[in-house]
Chains A and B, each alone.
Chain A
Amino acid sequence: MDIVVCIKQVPDTSEVSIDPETNTLVREGVPSIINPYDENAIEVGLQLKEEHGGTVTALSMGPPQAEEALRQALAMGCDEAILISDRAFAGSDTLATSYVLAEAIRKVDSYDLIICGKQAFDGDTAQVGPGIAEQLGIPQATYAVDVKVDENRIAVKRLLAGSFETIEMKLPALITADKHMNVPRHAGLRGVMAARKKEIPTWTLEDIEADPEKCGLSGSPTTVVEIFPPQRSHKTERLEGEAQQVARQLVEKLREAQLL
């Protein structure tokens, strides 16, 4: 089966800290990483390929440096990687992004399954996966923790609050991978060496034959009008003393606030 994995390069938010004086993000020197959920997506793609044969192609839409993330996907074992990059794509919201990625996927030789991460670490919207599925008119299963492929059907176990739901879909289909799906493999030295030699083609607006009106800012219905640091509306009350004493104080405070 032929699999397309969509990945995104994101700033590593676990390395981000907050400047206590200005209450703004300190982003200097923050490394870029593959969105962590996308590593789960790559892993399940590789496992399905190992089981059923076929190919795994990694796609990423982003600026030229997103090539690093694709290089890493190749090192993990993806067969091909394609960068979707054009000035015309800058400023795309989730609608425009899902359009561009869907147009790129249409240009890939063939696909049976598209895998995305559950959501991206920087935006956290979880909209692009379902958006691509809708653009392509194929079924989707979000929050996937397990998959079984049988001929032209896929059974996907989804993790919902307190329950698992298993749904079956006809291929081609799209799934979004949850963190609990697997433990992504590390790229071995051989993989890293092989990935270095591989060519990563860049597909532009023209290559994917996209409508410029549907890309970038002109294709994006939403506009960010303001960005601001979150307000901390409360002060921290420090409780001090012996363990017994502070524990009692706390319980009293929580009861007063009707939290217990």
Chain B
Amino acid sequence: MSQKINLRVWLKIPDAEAATVKNTLVRRLGFGNVLTDVKKERLFSIEVDSGDPEELAKSFAKELVNENKESHKVLIDQLSFEEGYVPVKVALHIEDGEAISTRERLRNRLGFKNVVDVKKATVWKLYFNTLRPEAEQKSREIAEKLLINPHKDSYEIVS
């Protein structure tokens, strides 16, 4: 039976990309009255068909996370986020070359033959001064105005 190891990875140092997104949303796209902060995570979803997922997660983190500048959190067969922000997961709906390269690296260079699939996404954590229904609506607007190009990306608000 396959299991999915979700590896949430974020920078410990200031994230310039998240700062640029916040700046653009506030100064250029009119979200200054509702948006209070933007943070960002990388998400690896690694499907394995055997092995102890906890141990495998530790091994994958050693390869995929740079502990000098990044922190991470492992979730097995689930994906959840903290309260206080709206997580918007953005992924390619066309072929994701980086995800394929990661899978090949894990399987063929590092010997993790139990890796079946790897998916990558960016999770934008949008902080608002409004409550959830309105915050989710604003998140959809933000995703469609800036975070995705619908011809290659799709998004999902992770509840």
Q: Do A and B come from one complex?
A: no
- Residues of A in contact with B (beta carbons under 8 Å apart): none
Report B's interface with A, CB cutoff 8 A: none
